[in-house]
Amino acid sequence: MEYRIERDSMGEMKVPADRYWAAQTQRSLENFEIGGEKMPPEIIRAFALLKKGAAQANRALGKLDDRRAQLIETVCDEILDGRLDGHFPLVVWQTGSGTQSNMNANEVIAGRGNELAGEKLLHPNDHVNMSQSSNDTFPTAMHIAAVMSIEDRLLPALDSFIATLARLERENADAVKTGRTHLQDAVPITFGQEISGWRSMMEKARAMIALSLDGLHELALGGTAVGTGLNAPAGFDVMAAERISALTGKPFRTAENKFHALTSKDELVFAHGALKALAANMMKIANDVRWLASGPRCGLGEITIPENEPGSSIMPGKVNPTQCESVTMVAVQVMANDTAVGFSASQGNFELNVFMPVCIYNFLQSVRLLSDSLRSFEKNCVSGIRADRAKMKENLDRSLMTVTALSPHIGYDNAAKTAKLAFRENISLREACIRLGFLTPERFDELYHPERMI
């Protein structure tokens, strides 16, 4: 491999000749050989957006000349197009302020910009990082990445999933089945009503996630090192936020209190709490689906789900609810990520939080996993759910909890005696109630209609 020599305030560094980064990125690359978790691509794209917005603001405020501003914008567009992905090698486990990733972006933009210009016009600190600090750019990138991931990836997946549930709800509005509480038989419901609970869970989760976006629209950019805005011109914070908003189509705005914006990550904690709520709902729905599909002969067997792959290496013909299992594992990961996000946010010391890379790594992983899991679950399982109405009727007819409809007429205690006798002697509720003398056959037939109990 060929190398070139780059210099920073600490001296010389050998850098791969075909890479645009410079000394500070190389130092981080060599000093933090930890794990394989790279800075998320969403953060890299967010840095390109904020650097472009900052260059536009600096130019408008007379701080940056047209040629340098244009070079910065051009390289940022290349980053957004994915053409420079190989130039962002740093791991999550670096400085807690994300300084090295900010400098990685500054160095790549300067290096590529100078190549395009054919001369050294851009300095990573003086021009690309103008009016900025890592301490305000990294939290800004966190919010940009979080908003764009949620709005452009997660919410569309949620909307599609909700639409599929609504369709299934309509199709099964008249499919009467046994309700269950405590994993025990309960009074009847329709399968459509059961699905409506799933639909409402997802709608509620979506509403909570959408509510959490407002705080994430606030940007720390303009606070610079400690929140005072030192070395940033008056109005830079507002203008930079406006430019980023225009570039993304999202309603970003400058944070009212930059001291809060640099040290607190409560907006991310709040938003991830909504993601955890979604994960909990997905866990519940996936478990319901696999319980209802259990069998095919020795389980509940009230629904069928698509058969996607063989389920056993030893048992021929076995098919398992693999999509449900995938969803539940994703839910576990998101719940664990919530702990990491919360702990990270609690570690703000004085004017800065220094757990930002791990915080946003876990946050974005949750959004990514939930989005992909929703699409996979919908496509490969939920859209193909079919009610086995014959099995539902069979289970309903055998249920003892339909005796609840008789309680207003024969009393709770007598209804309980009826159910216990029917269970003990394996006879029908009708036979038990008549044998006990609580109702005549005619009166029982008049009162007992499980399909009307919904």
Q: Report whether 400 contacts 425 (CB < 8 A).
A: no
Q: Report whether 343 contacts 427 (CB < 8 A).
A: no
Cα 173 to Cα 170, 204, 250, 287: the distances in Å are: 5, 21, 39, 21
Options 87, 182, 217, 376, the catalytic residue: 182
**Active-site annotation holds for 312:** yes
β-partners of residue 13 are 6
Residue length of the chain: 454
Options 312, 346, 428, 449, the catalytic residue: 312
Q: Report whether 94 contacts 32 (CB < 8 A).
A: yes
Q: Which DSSP symbol is given to 127?
A: I
Q: Nearest 5°: phi and psi at 411?
A: 90, 155
Q: Report whether 259 contacts 353 (CB < 8 A).
A: no
Q: Which DSSP symbol is given to 258?
A: H
**Active-site annotation holds for 127:** no
The helix/strand/coil state of 64 is coil
Q: Report whether 177 contacts 167 (CB < 8 A).
A: no
Q: Which positions are annotated as active-site residues?
A: 182, 312
